[in-house]
Amino acid sequence: MAKMSNGEMCFPKDFLWGAGTSAYQIEGAWDEDGKTESIWDHFAHAKGNISNGETGDIACDHYHRWSDDIALMKSIGINAYRFSISWPRVLPHGRGIVNQKGLDFYARLVDGLLESGIVPFITLFHWDLPQALQNEGGFAARSTTEAFLEYADAVTRRLGDRVSNWITHNEPSVFTYIGHKYGKHAPGLQDSYTALRVAHHLLLSHGKSIPVIRANCPAAKVGMAMNVNYNLPASASRFDYAVWQYDYGMWTRWFLDPLYGRNYPPDLVEREIEIGELPPEGLDFVQDGDLKAISTPTDFLGINYYTRQLSRDAAVPENINAPVSVFQLSPSAENWQEMEGWEVYPDGLSKVLSWLYYEYQPQALYITENGASWSDAPDENGQVKDARRISFLERHLASAHEALQSGIPLKGYFAWSLLDNFEWGYGFSQRFGLTWVDFETQKRILKDSAWWYRDFIAKSMESSRCADSKT
């Protein structure tokens, strides 16, 4: 991997440059054209769950404005777009009768992308489970894994002739723990054992769906997108080390170890039994053949990277614990996002990519999400001057480039997000977009970061300047 002669970074000619979204966060049209309630519709409509009582009922109105949003993508110059499909828009009851209008919407979107020279990168499940399935137990019920196969089959049968890149699940650990252990996301449950059942069935549905996807799309590339922050113990003390080992273990190893054929980590299983999160018999929801199915070979691993996190044992008095030795950055506006506790730490991206590659040996890696929340608004000239986001992108792309130079098979980068959108429990209070959105009028304005990203992509794709690049 070479650098351009002027010192700028040079990426492979076939590198995918994209941006990402998810259905519930942008589509709106929550009950139109046959779509039924998702768990996020249900959760957001309940009082007190979302900041300012906001919902994704309209969001960015992408369902009606998708062609305009493709035009935005063309203006930015991206050659790939990662988006998710709304399960209850396609299968209103979670299984059974297919909603043709729902599938038709995604077919039009895919066709529009391809006509614009943009590669569709589809996520099947980005957390908006049909409420009808949640009423039957959701992903805590093994039957939902079979419903997922039905859903994956319906989507890939319709789109598999035009779409080759498929992500089964987005951030299964977040859906598992934030939604089922801590109750801050849909469906709002707080039960540790249920959460672990959900994790297993997510992984099982992933593995079982891969043959289905490949049968409908012989050229398919299939993977999963994991959120992996750069985690460190805050000090060298045994207390902080133990907390770090547990934190990164449950959020990362619990999912990736079985995905790559290693079974669930025995040390973590023992720990979960010890603290009462699992019954004495342990993983009683794992059946014969499950682990083999979960470890069905994949084509890539997607990484969602946002920040660095330090593990500190809060239960140990400070006078007993060792002094913090890994210090976070100064509290300047550029070093911290507006998302509480999210440090801007670009060096962590190359470290995470390297660790994942050498630990699990995925065939390829994609940065499927990377972005920052700052609330820059249009000035008197109608421009959104988001210099902090430009700095964020530039520094994280430099970190990605460092990983490439070290031999990591990184194949693409998706900025999060194409649009300011509904940011889950935060409602519309957090803005991650390359595009500023007025949620009242639906006016869109490309931020300065979008124009910077356009220029960066254009430079990286100039074949004459990257002629000496090696992939």
Instruction: Tell which residue, 428, 426, 451, 446, has the closest CA to residue 436.
Output: 446
Which residue type, as a one-letter code, is found at position 148? F
Tokens 């979302």 identify what position? 50
pLDDT tens, position by position, 73-112: 999 999 999 999 999 999 999 999 999 999 999 999 999 9
- Catalytic pick among 27, 37, 272, 369: 369
pTM exceeds 0.85: yes
CA 272 to CA 256: how far, in whole Å? 17
469: in domain: no
* Residue % of the chain over a pLDDT of 90: 94
In this prediction, residues 382-391 reach a mean pLDDT of 98
Question: Is residue 265, in this structure, part of any structural domain at all?
Answer: yes
246: in domain: yes
Confidence of residue 465 (pLDDT cuts 50, 70, 90): low
Is 150 annotated in the active site?
A: no
The verdict on residue 2 lying in a domain is no
Among 37, 171, 272, 402, the active-site one is: 171
Average per-residue pLDDT for the chain: 96
When computed from its CA atoms, the radius of gyration of the chain, rounded to whole angstroms, is 22
With cut-offs at 50, 70 and 90, classify the pLDDT of residue 471. Answer: very low
Look at the chain and report how many structural domains it folds into.
1
Task: Please report which confidence band the pLDDT of residue 333 belongs to, taking 50, 70 and 90 as the band edges.
Answer: confident
Tens-place pLDDT, residues 102-149 = 999 999 999 999 999 999 999 999 999 999 999 999 999 999 999 999
Residue with tokens 């053949």: 289
Asked whether residue 471 is assigned to any structural domain, the reply reads no
Confidence (pLDDT) at 330: 87
pLDDT at 294 over 70: yes
Res. 384: pLDDT tops 90: yes
Residue 96 lies in a domain: yes
Flag whether 229 is in a domain: yes
- Give me the mean pLDDT over the 451-466 stretch: 82
Closest CA to 457 of 415, 416, 427, 417: 415
Residue 10: inside a domain: no
Q: Render pLDDT for 240-261 as a digit per residue (tens, 0 to 9).
A: 999 999 999 999 999 999 999 9
- The domain of 345 spans 16-460
CATH number at residue 288: 3.20.20.80
To the query of whether residue 270 is one of the catalytic residues in this protein, the response is no
pLDDT at position 466 is: 52
19-52 pLDDT, tens digit each: 999 999 999 999 999 999 999 999 999 999 999 9
